[in-house]
Structure 1
Amino acid sequence: MQREIANTDGVTWSCVQAYTGLTEGTENKDAASVKGEDDSYWVVCTPSGGAKSVRLKLEGDWENTYSDEDLLNEIMTKQQAE
């Protein structure tokens, strides 16, 4: 599943769980899971306009439980850390 969110600067971020779309099934979910951490997944968020993509570690059913503001905060925090 893909989520699109827009920030106040007009940048639209497309976030997708890593390895989504390769195949259906548990091996796909296992590939995206964070090793050693239950219910955590790698999510890649790519911005419009050519800025650098970020890789986030998010928990559980992130597509439905994280608000747009929560995702934008995670993206901003990751950008500042790099």
Structure 2
Amino acid sequence: MAEAKIKIKNLYKIFGNKPDQIMPLVRQGVSKQELLDEHKHVLGLSDINIDIPAKRIHVIMGLSGSGKSTLIRHINRLIEP
């Protein structure tokens, strides 16, 4: 396989006022529903790891609300990691 042109390692995105304080809870395995109900934060991406080589076409597929657009926005830097 060709060398990766884009590498993403351990990417998380937490939407809310205090994502740094919520990160330990995410790593402990707190559910998405508990994060929302008790802490008013939303887990958008959880531990994403991908290597994308140059000159290749990749497809990102998933259900509505699964984080596809959030991932693309990180890749093109509309959202800073």
Calculate the TM-score normalised by the size of structure 2. Answer: 0.30
| Largest Rg, 1 or 2 | 2
| TM-score normalised over the length of structure 1 | 0.29
Which structure would you say has the larger RCO, counting Cα contacts within 8 Å and 6 or more residues apart? 2
